[in-house]
């Protein structure tokens, strides 16, 4: 038996840390619960037992179905007692036990009686319990009472009904939505909390009706809102309306801004912060609008309450991403937060400062951060390191102190993610700032002397191999690299051998000495290391005719794989050892895009008729196999490119069709993937009639209809066109789907004999210049660029007109060209005014093309672009420029 719950009033016992629940056991408590069945109820005893049950439940103890049912049934007996304290406990324990739907019926009558009781508090609690345990059908029975309760004089009853409404809205939205008149009345209530709950519920009910929300907000912003909580809600709804209206009324004053601004002078801190946050998050906020908000946020930075400091610095941190200049006034207050006890606040302060700081404050800032770094966790450190990286790109002149900082923290303890962030930052700085190169490389060299992460070591060795040979004194790196061959595991050793070979090839003076070092590696214990060493020795020695020219060796050592690694892996796995050697050229070069066509008609189960649907056809290899298996197309030669599927129908239509454009040297094949989403129909003789009157250079050659298209099993129809050889012809095609419909009996699954001819208009399809470009990436753009003949380079400048952001322009140009972004240049910082994109691709006729596009944006958001194109063939460079000026 557990210790009885003794009420101890004297404070002396408090010091003894023994718990009233000491030794509590589920079985014993369940035994005790039998007191609920006593004819003479002892309210105090019963309350104590309920407390114990609550304690067990709160400790994560679970009752079996039988136990829960038994306890629940006994608890219902307690409704006989008139003791209010006990009744309150009963309400709570019923909610906690959350009885099954078959048991609920036992208490509903008692609860419904309480719901109509004269005692207000019984009503409020009964509502809350009922709404917790009942389902939709019972809800309709008590709906009348709930509506009454919403407008009850007693605020507790009203709140209980409103909050219940908020919960029920999830499970029974259509019922709760009928209460909007009552809720509307409650919004006008004089009780602060009722207004708060009513406002929340009314907004939830009407959230999809923009006009209604706008009216609600409009009336409340004029009138008095009684609680700060409701005021906060109102601010949120207001900013949502401003967001929605944003596109319509750009001119003149922003609606509701005055309301937000007036909230900055509210007496509740919560409201002030909410309003300030709403203002900073307005789309295209002007600095005049921003100033009052920043001023109040600045005051909160020195608040004694951590929550307010956190809220303020968090908001300012966000503002700093888009409007760094607006936040600079707060810098002094922010600096004092670096030493804040709360690490979340300190990290936010530092990263904000790094975004807003000017060139002169960088060094002082770095000193402060150094002290701070030692006592924060890795996850915060990574945030700081990333902020420093962008700072360095912003202020290249300060690279020295930033680089020193990074190299110092690189030497300290830290996990993999943290170290990787530092190494990535150093690599970025070396790439962007040529002056930082030698210094940075030495820091990396020192790091690999004592680096426990294989991944980082190999990455750094690879990077050294590319950058190291071009420095003023390449020999100083050799020691670090060769040390790896002695001290590290096989993976790192193999990487070190590659790096050595690169130095040997690039630096003639080092070649003899590197050869000596490589020769030592051919006795390594690992196969791969030995193989690599042998291979490189023969390349460097150039003695056995393995490679013919220097250019071949260069290509071999520094060139990147032309095909993506994934494709290479699949091809190698598919290769079966035979007389015929593996042909690298056979590996597809297309970067795999997401299969787009697959998302439709999911979740619908096939009705069991017909054969299982054919395997989805996507991916370059699959397309190639499919097309070469069709005799009509087998003579077209090698497939150059297949586009990703283009939808020709809207979502949720009866027939869903998308098309894949297959480009050959002098042909184009359209593959129409059709899906029939009507279970009662079978389509036969499905064909696509293509009108090519707006595509003059194309002439239709043949088409291959689809014989039968049952429900939910996709099939393909094809249409082939001839076009001038090697010419990137473009044009617009309009498509009509023709077919014979046959009704299907849903019971038997059999189709009727007779069908009706019908047609279905599809969207137009265009062949664009990007279709003639395969997006093949290069791993080292700069090397690839320099290896191309500068004679063929064509440079021109373009005005792209006004755009919302630079990122949008970059994406537009990349899409028009259909090329692959290299070295992560597809991401543009949100507030950037200039950006350089590096693009690469393979143009029809297998011509390699590289593009450097420099973008700049002026104050009026006008975007200018300087486009430099290098290709193996000058005419292709011209074609690229033609695409841009035409697009």
216 near other proteins, judged by CB under 8 A: no
* Residue whose CB is less far from other proteins, 19 or 40: 19
- Distance, in Å, from the CA atom of 503 to the CA atom of 480, rounded to the nearest integer, reads 13
Closest CA to 75 of 100, 92, 56: 92
* Residue 426, both tokens: 């150093």
Residues numbered 20 to 39 that lie near other proteins (CB under 8 A) are: 20-22, 24
Span 541-580, contacts to other proteins by CB under 8 A = none
Least distance between other proteins and beta carbon 156 (Å) = 6
Partner residues linked to 736 by β-bridges? 689, 761
Task: Name the minimum Å distance from CB 434 to other proteins.
Answer: 30
**Dihedral sign, Cα of residue 270, residue 271, residue 274, residue 275:** negative
Q: Does 489 bind other proteins (CB under 8 A)?
A: no
13 is an interface residue for other proteins by CB under 8 A? yes
Size of the site for other proteins (CB under 8 A): 75
User: Do residues 809 and 884 touch, judged by C-beta distance below 8 A?
Assistant: no
Q: How far is the CB of 345 from other proteins (least distance, A)?
A: 8
Residues 241-270, interacting with other proteins (CB under 8 A): 269-270
Given candidates 3, 18, 584, 786, which one binds other proteins under the rule CB under 8 A? 18
**In 3-state terms, what secondary structure has residue 774?**
strand
Residue among 204 and 677 whose Cβ is closer to other proteins: 204
Q: Work out whether 701 is an interface residue with other proteins (CB under 8 A).
A: no
In angstroms, give the least distance from the CB of 6 to other proteins. Answer: 9
| Residue span binding other proteins (CB under 8 A) among the ranges 232-240, 249-257, 507-515, 670-678 | 232-240
- What DSSP assignment string belongs to 252-271? SSPTTHHHHHHHTT-SSHHH
The only residue of 3, 101, 141, 207 in contact with other proteins, by rule CB under 8 A = 207
Token pair, residue 701, equals 């050659």
- Nearest to other proteins of 57, 678 (CB atom): 57
3-state secondary structure at position 876: helix
Classify residue 871 by burial, with Cβ atoms within 10 Å: 0-12, 13-18, 19+. buried
User: Residues 345, 362, 409, 497: which binds other proteins (CB under 8 A)?
Assistant: 345
Q: Which of 193, 285, 409, 719 binds other proteins (CB under 8 A)?
A: 193
The continuous run of DSSP H or E covering 801 comes out as strand 794-802
Q: Rule CB under 8 A: which of 412-471 touch other proteins?
A: 417
233 binds other proteins (CB under 8 A): yes
Residues of span 160-189 touching other proteins by CB under 8 A: 160, 163, 166-167, 169-170
Nearest residue (CB) to other proteins, 167 versus 265 = 167
Residues between 290 and 309 that touch other proteins (CB under 8 A) = 305-307
> Whole-number minimum distance, CB 811 to other proteins, in Å?
14
Q: Which is nearer to other proteins, 308 or 869 (CB)?
A: 308
The residues that bridge with 699 in the sheet, in sequence order, are 722
3-state secondary structure of 392: helix
Euclidean distance between CA atoms 549 and 541, whole angstroms? 12
Residue of 1, 10, 17, 516 that binds other proteins (CB under 8 A): 17
Q: What span, in angstroms and rounded, lies between the C-alpha atoms of 494 and 489? A: 9
According to the binding rule CB under 8 A, does residue 344 interact with other proteins?
yes
The nearer residue to other proteins, 298 or 317, going by C-beta atoms, is 317
Q: Which stretch binds other proteins (CB under 8 A): 222-230, 572-580, 614-622, 847-855?
A: 222-230
Assign 852 to helix, strand or coil: strand
Q: Read out DSSP for 108-155?
A: HHHHHHHHT-SSHHHHHHHHHHHHHH--HHHHHHHHHHHHHHHT-SSH
Dihedral sign for Cα 539, 545, 551, 552, please: negative
- How far is the C-alpha of 293 from the C-alpha of 276, rounded, in Å? 5
Question: How many helices (H) does the chain have, and how many strands (E)?
Answer: 37, 17
Q: How far is the CB of 128 from other proteins (least distance, A)?
A: 7
Kindly identify the residues of this chain, within the stretch 42-101, that bind other proteins according to CB under 8 A: 47-48, 50-51, 54-56, 58-61, 84-85, 87-89, 92, 95
Binding mask 367-396 for other proteins (x = CB under 8 A): ------------x-----------------
Q: For other proteins, give the closer residue by CB, 21 or 79.
A: 21
Phi, psi for residue 869 in degrees, rounded to 5: -120, 130
- Tokens for 460? 């750094």
Residue in 70, 77, 106, 132 binding other proteins, rule: CB under 8 A: 132
The nearer residue to other proteins, 15 or 754, going by C-beta atoms, is: 15
What contacts 547, CB < 8 A, 6 or more positions away?
A: 539, 553, 556
């Amino acid at each position: 038996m557990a210790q009885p719950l003794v009420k101890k009033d004297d404070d002396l016992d408090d010091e003894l840390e023994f718990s009233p629940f000491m030794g509590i056991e589920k079985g014993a408590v369940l035994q005790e619960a039998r007191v609920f069945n006593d004819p003479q109820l002892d309210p105090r005893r019963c309350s104590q037992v309920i407390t114990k049950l609550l304690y067990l439940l709160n400790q994560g103890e679970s009752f079996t179905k039988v136990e829960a049912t038994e306890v629940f049934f006994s608890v219902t007996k307690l409704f006989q007692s008139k003791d209010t304290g006990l009744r309150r406990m009963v309400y709570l324990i019923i909610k906690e036990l959350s009885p099954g739907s078959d048991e609920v019926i036992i208490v509903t009558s008692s609860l419904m009686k309480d719901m109509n009781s004269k005692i207000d508090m019984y009503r409020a609690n009964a509502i809350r319990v009922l709404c917790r345990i009942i389902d939709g059908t019972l809800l309709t029975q008590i709906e009348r009472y709930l509506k009454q309760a919403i407008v009850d004089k007693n605020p507790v009853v009203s709140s209980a009904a409103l909050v219940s409404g908020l919960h029920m809205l999830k499970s029974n939205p259509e019922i709760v939505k009928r209460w909007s008149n009552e809720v509307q009345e409650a919004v006008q209530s004089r009780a602060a909390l009722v207004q708060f709950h009513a406002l929340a519920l009314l907004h939830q009910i009407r959230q999809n009706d923009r006009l209604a929300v706008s009216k609600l907000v409009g009336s409340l912003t004029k009138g008095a809102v009684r609680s700060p909580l409701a005021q906060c809600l109102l601010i949120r709804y207001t900013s949502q309306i401003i967001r929605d209206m944003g596109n319509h009324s750009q001119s003149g004053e922003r609606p509701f801004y005055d309301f937000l601004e007036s909230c900055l002078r509210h007496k509740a801190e919560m409201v002030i912060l909410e309003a300030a946050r709403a203002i900073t998050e307005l789309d295209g906020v002007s600095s005049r609008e921003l100033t009052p908000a920043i001023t109040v946020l600045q005051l909160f930075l020195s608040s004694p309450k951590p929550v307010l400091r956190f809220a303020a610095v968090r908001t300012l941190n966000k503002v700093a991403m888009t409007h760094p200049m607006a936040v600079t006034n707060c810098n002094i207050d922010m600096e004092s937060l670096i030493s804040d006890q709360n690490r979340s606040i300190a990290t936010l302060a530092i990263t904000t400062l790094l975004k807003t700081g000017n060139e002169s404050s960088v060094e002082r800032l770095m000193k402060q951060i150094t002290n701070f770094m030692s006592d924060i966790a890795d996850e915060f450190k990574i945030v700081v390191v990333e902020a420093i990286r962008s700072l360095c790109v912003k202020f290249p002149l300060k690279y020295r102190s930033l680089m020193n900082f990074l190299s110092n923290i690189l030497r300290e303890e830290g996990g993999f993610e943290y170290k990787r962030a530092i190494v990535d930052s150093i690599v970025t700085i070396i790439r962007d700032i040529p002056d930082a190169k030698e210094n940075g490389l030495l820091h990396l060299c020192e790091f690999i002397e004592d680096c426990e992460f294989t991944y980082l070591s190999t990455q750094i060795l690879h990077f050294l191999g590319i950058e190291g040979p071009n420095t003023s004194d390449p020999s100083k790196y050799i020691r670090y690299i060769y040390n790896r061959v002695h001290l590290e595991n096989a993976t790192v050793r193999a990487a070190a051998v590659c790096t050595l070979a690169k130095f040997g090839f690039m630096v003639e003076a080092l070649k003899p000495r590197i050869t000596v070092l490589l020769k030592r590696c051919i006795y390594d214990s690992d196969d791969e290391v030995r193989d690599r060493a042998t291979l490189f020795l023969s390349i460097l020695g150039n003695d056995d005719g393995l490679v013919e020219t220097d250019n071949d060796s260069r290509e071999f050592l520094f060139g990147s794989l032309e095909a993506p690694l994934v494709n290479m892996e699949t091809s190698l796995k598919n290769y079966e050892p035979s007389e015929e050697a593996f042909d690298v050229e056979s590996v597809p070069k297309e970067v795999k895009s997401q299969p787009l066509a697959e998302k439709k008609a999911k979740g619908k189960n096939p009705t069991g008729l017909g054969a299982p649907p054919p395997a989805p056809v996507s991916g370059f290899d699959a397309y190639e196999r499919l097309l070469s298996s069709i005799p009509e197309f087998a003579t077209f030669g090698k497939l150059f490119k297949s586009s990703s599927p283009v939808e020709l129908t809207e979502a949720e239509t009866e027939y869903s069709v998308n098309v894949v454009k297959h480009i050959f040297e002098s042909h184009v094949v359209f593959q129409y993937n059709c899906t029939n989403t009507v279970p009662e129909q079978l389509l036969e003789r499905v064909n696509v009639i293509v009108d090519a009157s707006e595509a003059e250079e194309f002439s239709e050659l043949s088409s291959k209809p689809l014989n039968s298209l049952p429900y939910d099993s996709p099939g393909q129809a094809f249409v082939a066109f001839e076009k001038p050889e090697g010419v990137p012809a473009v044009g617009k095609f309009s498509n009509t789907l023709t077919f014979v419909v046959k009704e299907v009996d849903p019971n038997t699954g059999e189709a009727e004999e007779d069908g009706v001819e019908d047609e279905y208009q599809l969207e137009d399809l265009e062949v664009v210049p990007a279709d003639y470009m395969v997006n093949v990436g290069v791993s080292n753009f700069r090397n690839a660029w320099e290896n191309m003949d500068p004679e063929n380079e064509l440079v021109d400048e373009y005005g792209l007109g006004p755009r919302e952001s630079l990122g949008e322009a970059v994406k537009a140009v990349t899409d028009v060209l259909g090329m692959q972004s290299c070295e992560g240049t597809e991401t543009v910082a949100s507030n950037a005014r200039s950006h350089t994109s590096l693009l690469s691709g393979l143009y029809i006729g297998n011509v390699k093309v590289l593009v450097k596009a420099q973008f700049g944006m002026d104050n009026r958001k006008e975007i200018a672009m300087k486009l430099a194109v290098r290709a193996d063939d000058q005419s292709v460079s011209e074609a690229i420029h033609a695409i841009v000026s035409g697009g």
